[in-house]
Copies of this chain bind each other. A is one copy, B any other.
Amino acid sequence: MNRLNDAPETLAIVGATILDGNGGTPIRDGVVVIEGSRILAVGDRSTPIPPEATEIVASGKFVIPGLMSAYTCLVDGAFLTTVVPYEGRFDELAIEAAQLALKGGVTTVFDPWGPRDALVKAREAIKQGRAVGSRIYLAGNIVGYDGPFSEDFRPKHREVVPRPFATRIDAQWQLNVGRALVQMSPEQVREEIRKYIHSGVDFVSCAITDHCCTGGALKYLVFSSRVLQLIVEEAHRAGLPVVGWAPWSNEGVVHALNAGIDHTIIGRLLPYISEETVAMVGRRQLPCAYAGYTAQVHEWFRGRPGGEFLEGQQAADDMIRRLYDAGAVPMLMTSGQLFSRDEVATWPEPMQSIKGFGVLGQGHVFLLQAMQENGLSPMGALMAATRNISRAYKVDKDLGTLERGKLADLLILDEDPLKDTKNYFGISVVMKEGKVIDRGALPTQRLIIAPPPHSQAYADSKPQLPK
């Protein structure tokens, strides 16, 4: 093997079964040729392999496109243990998160809610090779909501921190497109949204129904029809797709559709949608993300306290099935987060998908499994995690499938992911833009997931009364 000066490196993955993300028949004993960051060819054994190519022998293994998550919050402001110690370092948290995702095979994440400037910083660091991690696309704030300490998320947190701190954190989410928009006239909203759209975001998250946590509302329409339409219009004019976040009522779904949003989430907080709405979503072939729970989780909580959060899940499972049957396009979302060890310590073992939907780098596998348990074919689930997302976000020119000309994001799995979802855990190689990732080195810095300090020892020191 020799390598010419400056010429891009050429690789050939040989002998594996290729699932290219387009849903067709798998190519057995296939070949993927990669030149530099892009795919040069995908095909069966007859595919020509350039002589200078380094061969990666993958006989018996399976090659799939790098996984994508339609919605993943890299920096979750809803946890005090995230925002209090790391103010000013949110970009580092985002990188830690993107590294955990990448380590688990998710090569691209779309972040719908976070501190924009820190996320931009993390995105650029990864893009420019200063840091390894999943490719980040980001929206910043959910247009129309206020920040983590506001009534929209964690008003109780506001009471326990100094006011200037809360205000400052909230501002990093809100920027100029928070709740204040709701009280504005269309002209004013247009002015603010234009500024925001040109501030480095990759797509727009827009509030459909409210997120009024304290009142348990979650069903009113945040914007009037004309305002929602203009937000979508401005985003589209700038070439940005819009995710409708999130419709928690039948009318919310219709409202979002009518305004022209590009994709959305359907979840258990949406109690009901009519047949007419199902049909409308289906006709539009709207990409809809959904996060279900595996049968194992349901089983675990049967008869145990704490399972209230599963209420309504069955109804939601039914609803999403109706939507997918009608033509809605499935998408994987992990809504994944960097959970601290203390947080995870309170969960039942070994289910990693229960709170906040999914632990980064692992939860997506459980979510893919839940999708299949709820009726999606194994191939459908794979597409929900690859091509469907790249199309919904209009980045399918570069991402989502294994095809000539696309970026060489791919996984080599030890066993067939269509046979058993758990096989997504059996990763042999993660490749991003033609580079094999050193998974063992990730994350390069442990902040949120660091073990607690030695003070752990104190946990059991309480004196007990004699019996």
Residues on A facing B (Cβ under 8 Å):
80-81, 84-89, 151, 154-157, 159-165, 167-169, 171-172, 174-178, 180-188, 192, 209-210, 212-217, 219-227, 249-252, 254-255, 271-274, 276-277, 303, 305, 340, 342-343, 345-346, 452-456, 458-466
Q: Are A162 and B454 closer than 8 Å at their CB atoms?
A: no
Q: Are B168 and A452 closer than 8 Å at their CB atoms?
A: yes
Q: Which of B172, B254, B462, B465 contacts A271 (CB 8 A)?
A: B465
Q: How far is the CA of A394 from the CA of B165 in the complex (A)?
A: 43
Q: Which of B156, B187, B210 contacts A220 (CB 8 A)?
A: B210
Complex: chain B residue closest to A224, CB-CB: B251
Q: Are B168 and A346 closer than 8 Å at their CB atoms?
A: no
Q: Which of B155, B164, B168, B180 contacts A463 (CB 8 A)?
A: B180
Q: Which of B164, B180, B212 contacts A217 (CB 8 A)?
A: B212
Complex: chain B residue closest to A175, CB-CB: B461
Complex: chain B residue closest to A84, CB-CB: B84
In addition to A164-B345, A224-B251, 4 A-B residue pairs with Cβ atoms within 8 Å of each other are A168-B456, A171-B459, A212-B220, A221-B222
Q: How far is the CA of A221 from the CA of B182 in the complex (A)?
A: 10
Residues of B within 8 A of A187 (CB): 274
A-B contacts, 19 of them at CB < 8 A, read A84-B85, A85-B85, A85-B86, A156-B156, A156-B159, A165-B342, A167-B459, A168-B455, A171-B460, A178-B462, A182-B219, A183-B271, A184-B250, A184-B463, A185-B250, A186-B251, A214-B214, A217-B217, A303-B303
Q: Are B164 and A346 closer than 8 Å at their CB atoms?
A: yes
Of all A-B residue pairs in the complex, the 9 with the closest CB atoms, nearest first, are: A88-B453, A220-B220, A85-B85, A171-B458, A215-B215, A162-B342, A185-B274, A224-B251, A212-B215
Q: How far is the CA of A190 from the CA of B252 in the complex (A)?
A: 17
Q: Are A183 and B249 closer than 8 Å at their CB atoms?
A: yes
Q: Which of B215, B221, B249 contacts A151 (CB 8 A)?
A: B215
Residues of B within 8 A of A455 (CB): 87-88, 168-169, 171-172
Nearest chain B CB to A375's CB is how many angstroms away?
Answer: 19
Q: Are B161 and A80 closer than 8 Å at their CB atoms?
A: yes
Residues of B within 8 A of A87 (CB): 452-453, 455
Q: How far is the CA of A464 from the CA of B216 in the complex (A)?
A: 19
Residues of B within 8 A of A459 (CB): 164, 167-168, 171
Complex: chain B residue closest to A195, CB-CB: B463
Residues of B within 8 A of A222 (CB): 220-221
Q: Are B464 and A180 closer than 8 Å at their CB atoms?
A: yes
Q: Are A183 and B250 closer than 8 Å at their CB atoms?
A: yes
Given contacts A168-B452, A185-B274, A215-B151, contact A180 B250 (CB under 8 A): no
Q: Which of B89, B210, B272, B460 contacts A183 (CB 8 A)?
A: B272
Residues of B within 8 A of A271 (CB): 183, 465
Q: Are A272 and B184 closer than 8 Å at their CB atoms?
A: yes
Given contacts A84-B84, A185-B276, A342-B164, contact A223 B251 (CB under 8 A): yes
Residues of B within 8 A of A225 (CB): 224-225
Q: Are A465 and B171 closer than 8 Å at their CB atoms?
A: no
Q: How far is the CA of A455 from the CA of B176 in the complex (A)?
A: 15
Nearest chain B CB to A326's CB is how many angstroms away?
Answer: 15
Nearest chain B CB to A219's CB is how many angstroms away?
Answer: 5
Q: How far is the CA of A168 from the CA of B452 in the complex (A)?
A: 10
Residues of B within 8 A of A458 (CB): 168, 171-172, 175
Residues of B within 8 A of A180 (CB): 462-465
Residues of B within 8 A of A160 (CB): 80, 154, 156-157, 160
Given contacts A172-B458, A176-B461, A224-B254, contact A88 B452 (CB under 8 A): yes
